Amino acid sequence: MNSQFDRRIFGSEMKYLHEVLQTEFRSSQGSLMMRRFEESFAKRFGSKYAISFVNGTATMHAALEARGIGPGDEVIVPPLTMSATTFAVLQANATPVYADVDEHTFQIDPRSISERITPRTKAIITVALYGLSPDMDSIMALAEMHGLTVIEDNAECFLGTYKGRLVGTLGHCSSFSFQSSKHLTSGEGGVVLTDDLAYAENIRKVQSLGYAGVSANKGKITKRDIQDPGYSRHVTMGWNYRMPELCCAVALAQTENIDALVARRIEVAKIFEESTRQFHDWFTPQFTGPEFTNSYWTWVTCIRNPKVTWHDFRDRFTAAGGDGVYAAWRLSYLEPMFTNRNLLGRERFISSENLDSYRKGLCPVAEFLQPRLVQFKTNYWDLGRAHQQAEILQQTLSTF
């Protein structure tokens, strides 16, 4: 794969947007793109049901609500990721419990998950961090042993594989994001995949205001139904989490080009990896085992030289002409919202024991990694620019 395109919008995005605008958003014409996008995305992943959402946080919130998870229930999550994973748990009024991560893959560690399970644990949210799957067989075995739901947060992983299987088809359901930085984007948006019909029905109702007339494969109630004065619309409480038609149009076009869009990121990551190979003893990339395919939302390394700080490296790299780098997110439980107990009232649903655990020392491996991780963007549509940046990176490393 190489230079068949030089930008991330190169397919039918404009054509599909025009089709939506031609409907003038008449309700009788609504959800046409939603249906087409959901069918296309489900087919690409070999899943039975795809349910689109306004973003990739609402997806996980809905997946928890659809399982009846709420106050007093615990959900195990990794601390080393964007805090939206934690927010989804808090939005369901449940308690986030943090499991540590593996030092080499940076993924949530099944051994730490096992240590965190209590009688109150109801679910595990895994995160395919930076484009790499966690050890899902071990996690699913724990879930089966304890009767837990596993939700895959795959915001950063499209077409990654684990032991020959697509990431996103391994848990009880999976969540993807179409936020602007992701492999596929519609500006904002998200989607949930599952093969469980009952679960899909419940997720759809959470997504669509608890409407009686929606289903796993149907995202819109009919005009004939809603114009009946005796029609009972809401069989349960739900949220208005539906993905707009304009976003669905773009997401459909992006899904049609998913292989090329993901392949470009992998190609760029390999350029960075090859150019730095001689420094991997201390500038160590995320480990991707032989049974994994990494889709490289970013290419990430850990600075293991005690004489080089994150800021030292960043400053020298940018001074040499580097495009800049990204830091790993502050660990969720060390964010001010936890240290200041500012959870918009959700703190009342969390036991004092769990509240007290949100402090340094809870996940020592994640705490070691977080200030040392350096993320490089992989969405270079000009491969010449990627090669140039890799050369600057190599030269920068040689100065330490």
Question: Is 307 marked active-site?
Answer: no
Q: What would the 3-class secondary structure string for 185-196 be? A: CCECCEEEEECC
DSSP state of 345: T
DSSP state of 302: E
- In one-letter notation, the amino acid at residue 8 is R
3-class SS of residue 2: coil
- In one-letter notation, the amino acid at residue 86 is T
**Nearest-5° angle of CA 369, CA 371, CA 376?**
90
Separation in Å, CA 37 to CA 119, 223, 253: 39, 22, 8
From 182, 205, 218, 377, active-site residue: 182
Between CA 379 and CA 179 the distance in angstroms is 14
How many other CB atoms are found less than 10 A from the CB of residue 373? Answer: 22
Between CA 107 and CA 152 the distance in angstroms is 12
DSSP state of 243: P
Judge contact between 185 and 255, C-beta under 8 A.
no
Question: What tokens appear for 197 in the block?
Answer: 């019909």
Residues labelled as active-site residues:
182
